[in-house]
Structure 1
Amino acid sequence: MADMCEYGGFTHAVVRGIPETFGASAAAEGEGHKNGGGASVDLAKAQRQFGCLTGALRQKVGLQLIEIPPDPELPDSWRIEDVAIIQGGTALITRPLRQQRRSEAEAVRKVMSELHLTVVEMGAEEGGSGGPTLEGSDVLFTGKEFFVGLSAHTNRRGAEVLADTFKDFTVSTVPVCGGVRLRSICSMGGPDTIVISSSNGAKRTLRMMEQLTDHHYEILTVPEEAAANCLYIRGPSNRDFLLHRPADECPDSVSAFQKLQDYTLLPTACSEASKAGAALSSLCLLINRKHRHF
């Protein structure tokens, strides 16, 4: 049924710089506090952490890095994961919940076209009450199927548009609660490994996922919710890399990641983005464009 692929093989990463207005909208709406932040963000530190992430993706993992300049008029635009879902040669431009964020897609759409991806738009529906909403931080792709978290930011109609776009894959919806996104409580730690928080809410979501899937996944549980969001990449060198929160941010979870044998572990700081309600995966879009020349 599904045209399954091995998860994690990427060639490109698209990122967007941290603007001077970083954290403004999250502070205004209290989103940072809901996600365990509450402290004021440090712009200079956020920019340094962003530089370390992009350096790791380019220099250590070996991806081709495409950086979109920051836009102070779009304070959340660095959360680039939210505005596109990419699989194979198709990029679905999403429809974030807040109207102010929807213009973030313009620059991303341009890059997707330059990479010769087929761009699909998720527009508002005529006569609909509000229309579909979908943010990439609510979408977990496993290489075998999609899970979409129904949250304050993503609705069922948004998941249906995703399913219509990627017809080769099963798309299942799961509830997430407490103001978090699906990718805040789980991520892929390898082709068949789901990394998940040990919180009660995450456990409930995982049980639902296990009931909905026909595939078997190994489960790596981490005690700190922030550690559940990591980035697994099999780079051009065919080595397995895992970017994860460092010991000074998630000290109790380091030993769990060390169970992943033969991985190159890359501790990557994300404290300032976390204060703004985001995570490591929020800061990049990963793409596989093998055998293409630009």
Structure 2
Amino acid sequence: MANVCPYGRFTHAVVRGIPESFGRASGDGAENGESAVDLAKAQRQFGVLTGALRQKVGLQLIEIPPDPELPESWRIEDVAVIQGDTALITRPFQQQRRSEAEAVRRVVSELNLTVVEMGAEEGGSGGATLEGSDVLFTGREFFVGISSHTNHRGAEVLADTFKMMEQLTDHHYEVLTVPEDAAANCIYIQGPAKTDFLLHRPTDECPESVSAFQKLQDYTLLPTACSEASKLGASLSSLCLLINRKHTIF
């Protein structure tokens, strides 16, 4: 069973740059009526996110260079689920995305995390698929959304790795409701000085939800744009992996 770190407490953020091929992957595009993506704007928004993580929150930032041959590799959340000292390397649904894990595997190994390979669990073929964007960790348990990209076997491998997932839960959660679906994806981090940070979509992207975030008076709110990534079905958390690693040897 993986060791569990305090919820929201991180030391490192791992990101992967926006490649020139952003938005060109098969299956991407404006299937939901979205306009075409703006590469330069996406790269600027990525820079704002990484700047907030490094300069405002105080995390150590590890940036993997963009790879134009891997047009979806900026969706770094999909290829690993990390909790405590364990990193589960996932198995994305699309075969062409699985090579995205190589650079992430190298980084988490250098951070001395225990690496669990979903491919190894499956004998390297067939069966489980899991993408990290379908996984939510609440600090107490994992929730997995079964989707076209994540199946039940993938959820079972996650449960076997972390031993913290139940079919039903009796935990009580306080709920903050936002009127826009896109606003529900936020990044919570407890900073080095025990400051609670919440990165959330800004007013121009989710105008009806900002008032809900403002009710969180004990949080430092960091509005962070994500409009271009969202046109491809991604969200703020898609763009980073958060790790708690105090003792790192390189």
Question: What SS class does the counterpart of residue 177 from structure 2 fall into?
Answer: strand
Letter in 1 for 2:137: F
Aligned position for 1:59: 55
Q: Does 1:221 align with 2:177?
A: yes
Aligned position for 1:197: none
Query: Is the Cα–Cα contact under 8 Å of residues 93 and 122 in structure 1 kept in the other structure?
Result: yes
Question: What SS class does the counterpart of residue 110 from structure 1 fall into?
Answer: helix
Q: Distance in 1 between matches of 2:7 and 2:185?
A: 16
Q: Distance in 2 between matches of 1:3 and 1:93?
A: 17
Q: Which moved more, 1:237-246 or 1:119-128?
A: 119-128
Q: Distance in 1 between matches of 2:183 and 2:208?
A: 9
Deviation at 1:290, TM superposition (A): 2.3
Query: Is the Cα–Cα contact under 8 Å of residues 89 and 116 in structure 2 kept in the other structure?
Result: yes
Q: Distance in 1 between matches of 2:248 and 2:2?
A: 24
Letter in 2 for 1:133: T
Q: Distance in 2 between matches of 1:127 and 1:40?
A: 37
Distance 1:127 1:47, change over 3 A: closer
Deviation at 1:171, TM superposition (A): 4.2
Q: Deviations over 1:114-148 (max 9, x none)?
A: 000010101173597x3100000000001100000
Aligned position for 2:31: 33
Letter in 2 for 1:260: L
Question: What SS class does the counterpart of residue 66 from structure 1 fall into?
Answer: strand
Deviation at 1:5, TM superposition (A): 5.1
Q: Deviations over 1:229-248 (max 9, x none)?
A: 01000011210000000001
Misfit runs of 4+, over 2 Å: 1-6, 30-34, 124-128, 290-294
Q: Does 1:170 align with 2:165?
A: yes
TM-score computed with the length of structure 1 as normaliser: 0.81
Q: Distance in 2 between matches of 1:17 and 1:112?
A: 17
Query: Is the Cα–Cα contact under 8 Å of residues 241 and 265 in structure 1 kept in the other structure?
Result: yes
CA RMSD of aligned residues (A): 1.9
Q: Distance in 1 between matches of 2:149 and 2:124?
A: 21
Q: Which is richer in helix?
A: 1
Q: Deviations over 1:193-237 (max 9, x none)?
A: xxxxxxxxxxxxxxxxxxx21211001110111101010000112
Q: Distance in 2 between matches of 1:44 and 1:69?
A: 16
Unaligned ranges ≥5, structure 2: none
Q: Distance in 2 between matches of 1:68 and 1:171?
A: 34
Of 261, 275, 289, which aligns to 2:231?
Answer: 275
Query: Is the Cα–Cα contact under 8 Å of residues 2 and 83 in structure 2 kept in the other structure?
Result: no
Aligned position for 1:118: 114
Q: How many residues align?
A: 249
Q: Deviations over 1:148-197 (max 9, x none)?
A: 00001100000111111112x1244xxxxxxxxxxxxxxxxxxxxxxxxx
Query: Is the Cα–Cα contact under 8 Å of residues 4 and 144 in structure 1 kept in the other structure?
Result: no
Identical aligned pairs, as a percentage?
A: 80
TM-score computed with the length of structure 2 as normaliser: 0.94
Q: Deviations over 1:240-279 (max 9, x none)?
A: 0000000011000000001111110000000000001100
Q: Does 1:285 align with 2:241?
A: yes
Aligned position for 1:13: 13
Distance 1:282 1:4, change over 3 A: same
Note the 1:60-139 alignment, pairs <5 A.
Answer: 60-123=56-119, 125=122, 130-139=126-135
Letter in 2 for 1:33: E
Distance 1:262 1:134, change over 3 A: same
Letter in 2 for 1:113: S
Q: Distance in 2 between matches of 1:116 and 1:126?
A: 24
Query: Is the Cα–Cα contact under 8 Å of residues 15 and 65 in structure 1 kept in the other structure?
Result: yes
Q: Distance in 2 between matches of 1:121 and 1:273?
A: 27
Aligned position for 2:219: 263
Query: Is the Cα–Cα contact under 8 Å of residues 148 and 171 in structure 1 kept in the other structure?
Result: no
